[in-house]
Amino acid sequence: MIEIKVYTRATKALDGMVRQVTWITKLQIGSIVRSWLFGALIVSVASLVAAPDALAQSTFLPYASTQFEHNNNIFYLPSSQATYAAGGIDQFGDSSLKTIGGAEEDYYWGRQRFYATAEGRYIDYDHYTYLNHSEYLLRLGLDWKLLTAFDGTFLGSLERYMAPFANRNTFTALSVDLDRSTSAKFNTRLSPEWLLVTSVYYHDLDAPIEDYPNYGLTETTARAVLQYLGVANLTFGIAAEYLDGRYRNAPIEGTYNQTSVGLTMAYAVTKLSSFKGVVGYTERQQGQNQGTVSAVTGEIGYTRALTGKTSFTLDYLRAVNSYVAAGGSELDSTLSLRASHQLTYKIGIAAGIQQMRSDFQGQTIPGSNTVGRRDRTPQADLRITYDVRRWLMIQPYVTYQRRTSNVELDGFSSNIVGIKIQAKMQPPPPTR
């Protein structure tokens, strides 16, 4: 419903004018994004139809897996007797068995590639059986090329999954999210040295929580990057992004918008090492008099292959994100180090450590108590992958996670031990 009022006071008239202009701006941005998404589909189909007559190639790869996992703190709660009494739970840990079945499809027609994934999951818990639930994932994508100057990607996905207890204020209640997203990316070669990359992204999340069963998040993002490719092994450019979002079906309709600008760079020093970087500035207007979040943001990463079997990646990321649990925002700073080693041609080892700092602001869910909250979350994990056969993989893993917070009830520690066994049909080896 659109309500138009005529104000007699000058102050109210001015306020109404500002709100109307804001509404029109949002309407135009939404229309542009929807037009771009529709245009991406049209261009993708047109490029597919215009592809030269060539032998189509199709690869269908079904797979199935089972994963057993034990978590000593299934609800990610602070370990205290008060937690037992408040929640009426009789133990913190539980084991689960996840069964997965799905298939991947790759279809090539000339220079075009169509791909799809369909996956179903069922998670069965040993003690807290009320957490048993089913999940699924559907993904469709198209990589298209038109002439020599245009190419891009169109991607859509639909996923149903259990909301993580570590990031939701659901205490011990099961909450199942439904996540929908659509994106389109256009690459335009302006000249041999210049490349323009534009993209649009639409994200719609149903995230029911206690007392608000229809609560969710909707975001629309438009991004443009202009890159210069005229220097060997070096790519640099400038990026701009605008995000418009809202938390819906909450006591406060938490609208917000976010603008980011930055410089991008990627440099391959040698065949063994490379840098990547994005450094810029982000500002989020949270609306409803909840203030503004602004910060220097970006990502800096370094990858190095020590030998033909060993490599590591060091990465630092700082970004303003949406905190769904409270309907606010968070400023996350994450430093991570990952290393991998191929012990034999069948056995690979991967390990990682990570330190995250999160600062929270704004909320649309009453009682969330997140304004001014500060978290510190160290994490470590280790995975061993054993390829028994070309189609059969066994992967044991361990994960440690701990969170400290100035809000006592948001701290926890968790240890996870698990093993995954997966059978997947592999594509035939390429013919010479």
Nearest Cα to Cα of residue 150 among 118, 123, 185, 122: 185
> What is the reported pLDDT for 170?
76
User: 428: pLDDT confidence band, cut at 50, 70 and 90?
Assistant: confident
Q: d(Cα 157, Cα 231) in Å, to the nearest integer?
A: 37
Is the per-residue pLDDT at 423 higher than 50?
Answer: yes
pLDDT for the residue numbered 83? 55
Nearest-angstrom CA–CA distance, 422 and 119? 13
Give the model confidence (pLDDT) of 357-368 as tens digits: 999 988 888 878
Q: What does the pLDDT average to over 14-27? A: 37
Amino acid 84: pLDDT: 57
Lowest mean pLDDT, pick from 45-59, 155-169, 382-396: 45-59
Tell me, yes or no, if the pTM score tops 0.75: yes
Q: In the 3-class helix/strand/coil scheme, how is the chain assigned residue by residue? A: CCCCCCCCCHHHHHHHHHHHHHHHHHHHHHHHHHHHHHHHHHHHHHHHHCCCCCCCEEEEEEEEEEEEEEECCCCCCCCCHHHHHHHCCCCCCEEEEEEEEEEEEEEEECCEEEEEEEEEEEEEECCCHHHCEEEEEEEEEEEEEECCCEEEEEEEEEEEEECCHHHCCCCCCCCEEEEEEEEEEEEEECCCCEEEEEEEEEEEEECCECCECCCEEEEEEEEEEEEEEEECCEEEEEEEEEEEEEEECCCCCEEEEEEEEEEEEEEECCCCEEEEEEEEEEEEECCCCCCEEEEEEEEEEEEEECCCCEEEEEEEEEEEEEECCCCEEEEEEEEEEEEEEECCCCEEEEEEEEEEEEEEECCCCCCCCCCCCEEEEEEEEEEEEEEEECCEEEEEEEEEEEEEECCHHHCEEEEEEEEEEEEECCCCCCCC
- Interval 362-382 mean pLDDT: 90
pLDDT in tens, 279-337: 999 999 987 778 899 999 999 999 999 999 999 999 999 999 999 988 899 999 999 99
Whether the pLDDT of residue 378 is over 60: the answer is yes
**Cα–Cα distance, 21 to 15 (Å, whole number):** 10
pLDDT digits (tens, 9 = 90+) for 84-95: 555 667 888 999
Assign 80 a pLDDT band (cuts: 50, 70, 90).
low
Span 241-260, pLDDT tens digits: 999 999 999 887 778 999 99
Residue 4: pLDDT band (50, 70, 90) is very low
Rounded average pLDDT over 52-56: 53
* pLDDT reported for residue 78: 86
Residue 392 falls in which region: left (phi positive, over 0), alpha (psi -120 to 50) or beta: beta
How confident is residue 381, by pLDDT bands cut at 50, 70 and 90? very high
Task: Taking residues 271-279, report their average pLDDT.
Answer: 93
60: which residues sit within 8 A by CB, 6+ positions away? 103, 104, 105, 425
* Residue 167: pLDDT band with limits 50, 70, 90: confident
Rounded to whole angstroms, the Cα distance separating 169 from 133 reads 19
**What pLDDT score was predicted for residue 55?**
55
Q: Residue 32 — very low, low, confident or very high, per pLDDT cuts 50/70/90?
A: very low
pLDDT at position 24 is 35
pLDDT band at 236 (very low <50, low <70, confident <90, very high): very high
Taken in order of first residue, the domains within the chain and their CATH numbers are 10-424 (2.40.160)
The pLDDT-based confidence of 344 (bands split at 50, 70, 90) is very high
74 — phi, psi (to 5°)? -60, -30
* Nearest alpha-carbon partner for 211 in 67, 365, 352: 365
Q: What pLDDT is recorded for position 302? A: 97
pLDDT at 85: 53
pLDDT of residue 225: 97
